[in-house]
Amino acid sequence: MKIKNVEIKAKTEYPNKVIDKLKSLNADYRGCDTQIDTYFNIQSGRLKLRQGNIENSLIFYNRENTKDSKLSDIAFSNIENGADVLDVLLSALGEKITVKKDRHIYFIDHVKFHVDYLDKLGTFVEIEVIDEKNEYSESEMHRLCAHYMDLLSIQKTDLLTHSYSDMLGL
């Protein structure tokens, strides 16, 4: 499946305030997922295998490392046997880095929110405006992302440019 999204990632010192605000907005809580994302060596873009108790998928994406909300072109497939897929991809491509996190997952319509905890990096919040059917313009998606940034009191100075894999690999 191919989709596009507009997303932000921000460092937060107040994850419980973010969670409380999401609850007050009646966000649909999907649970806490302990995820292991294995990134593979490829020439361009990012390829990762996500293994969790809620989300299990193979994901390829391209995204610029900018501080503002950013557009991602994503191709992904839900998978059932991550261990077998991992063995094949490790044999073919080799491991670039592995990222482990605890992720609280919320949804409001087609907007996904994550509150992430990573041992070596800290606590983060992500907002992803997801367009699975090419229904929204890029500017609409950026506006909706900014709207939720305001509601969650995320400041532009809190935004990050890089993925967790980049931050751990630096």
Q: What is the pLDDT of residues 148-164, one digit of tens each?
A: 999 999 999 999 998 99
pLDDT tens per residue across span 135-147 = 999 999 999 999 9
Q: Beta partners for 113?
A: 106, 127
Helices (DSSP H) in 10-119: which residue ranges? Answer: 15-24, 82-93
pLDDT in the model for residue 67: 84
Range of the domain at 73: 2-169
| The pLDDT of residue 66 | 85
Chain segment 34-52, per-residue pLDDT in tens: 999 999 999 999 999 999 9
The pLDDT of residue 170 is: 58
In this predicted model, what pLDDT tens digit does every residue of 80-127 receive, in sequence order?
999 999 999 999 999 999 999 999 999 999 999 999 999 989 999 999
**0.85 exceeded by the pTM?**
yes
pLDDT of 64:
84
CATH number assigned to the domain comprising residue 12:
2.40.320.10
CA distances from 150 to 18, 47, 66, 93 (A): 11, 31, 19, 41
The phi, psi pair for 84, rounded to 5°, reads -70, -45
Domain count along the chain? 1
Please give the pLDDT value at position 135. 95
Q: What is the pLDDT of residue 150?
A: 97
**Nearest partner of 108 among 21, 4, 34, judged by Cα:** 21
Pick from 16-25, 65-74, 147-156: least confident: 65-74
Residue 76 has pLDDT above 70, yes or no: yes
